[in-house]
Amino acid sequence: MNAHRVKAIARECGFELSGIAAALPLADFESFRVWADTGMAGEMGYLTDYRKDRRADPRHLLPEARSVLCVGKLYHTAHPHSTAYTDAECGWISRYAWGEDYHHIVTEGLRQVEATLRSEFAESFTAKVCVDTAPLLERSYAHMAGLGWIGKNTCLIHEPTGSWYFLGSLLLSLALEPDVPPPDRCGSCTRCIDDCPTAAIVPSGVPGGRQYFVDARACISYYTIEKKREIPAEVRQGNGNHVFGCDICQDVCPWNRRAPVTADVRFEPRIPPAPPLERLAAITEGEFRELFRSSPISRTRYTGFLRNVAVAMGNSGNAHFLPVLERLAMHPHPVVAGHAADAIRSIRAGDARLLPPPRTA
């Protein structure tokens, strides 16, 4: 089976990027192991439990695997970046979560790729679709497959189109010619490091490995998406007005200045990218389920969402939110009620503030 044709089929199935990597262990696993073992995964147990070591070799997922078809699905839209919004009464939802859940979209596309391969080629093969949830170092294999390099913000960056890509992999028992990984082109740029409001991008200390890690214990995305129950009081202010995820390290990346816009309408926002916090606080549980059905936002659940809204309101320092927060402080869920009560105290104490305006790119 011809590797060029396999990659062409991936592009015909809607993936802007495609490449081949050998299904072999990577040296980059050592960087992942250090990151996990030093506690930087926070409470994300699925990254540190028995599945951690399974990431060392894709053949743990498909014993007969010989190649990894890596794909990238562009999700960038024409709407402004988070760094363009300064309204203290609005929150921010990460760009990747505006539309439909990418897991379904990328999985559907990879299954179409697999079906096309089976219909076009007589050669028998086994395959396994992996999209984010499988214990596979997808960014590392995407790098080896030539899709881009792993930047200081740990995102895969493609030259010249940037980093607004969802990644997916198709493990194949076929022996395909692998692509060549591109060089790191971040150079001396430190925009993502300098503009991260919580200093979450830190030196790795891994000789010969990745230069930088994202420490989840300081990351806005971790606290607004992955963290369950209470957000520690000492880190809440750093969340600013973010209610689901954070895009700052990608928004300020120079490689994203000329990022193309996707033609896939499934990634268009269901609600305004920077929705009024008061509107978000008024969403009922039924509305939440309906509005964010098949959306990444459902991951944080209704109570986690309200928790994040309360924190963002408290960080605004805006007394206009006090009546809304007083209502949330009566919520039956103790986490929502507790965070709302703390936000009320913060506003009344006058010590809450939004993040300083980011530097222009």
Can you spell out the DSSP letters for 99-121?
SS-HHHHHHHHHHHHHHHHHHH-
Query: CA 57, CA 24: separation in Å to the nearest integer?
Result: 6
Alpha-carbon span 143 to 158, nearest angstrom: 9
Domain boundary among 248, 271, 294: 271
b/e per residue 235-252 (b: at least 16 CB within 10 A): bbbbbbbbbbbbbbbbbb
Alpha-carbon distance values, 225 to 239, 242, 299, 342 (Å)? 12, 10, 7, 20
Q: Is pLDDT above 70 for 355?
A: no
Mean pLDDT score, 110-128: 95
Same domain, 250 and 295: no
Q: Count how many domains the chain has.
A: 2
Residue 360 domain-assigned (yes or no): no
Could you read off the pLDDT of 303-349 as tens digits, one per residue? 999 999 999 999 999 999 999 999 999 999 999 999 999 999 999 99
Residues 260 and 318 in one domain: no
Q: How far is CA 231 from CA 142, 308, 342, in A?
A: 33, 9, 11
pLDDT at 356 over 60: no
- Residue 184 domain flag: yes
- Residue 242: strand pairing partners: 92
Residues designated catalytic: 132
Same domain for 288 and 267: no
Over residues 278-282, the mean pLDDT reads 96
pLDDT at 88: 82
Query: What is the extent of the structural domain holding 323?
Result: 276-355
**Inside any domain, residue 320:** yes
Q: What is the mean pLDDT of residues 277-299?
A: 95
Domain boundary residue, one of 223, 245, 271:
271
Residue 361 lies in a domain: no
Residue that finishes a domain, picked among 235, 256, 271: 271
260 and 171 in a common domain: yes
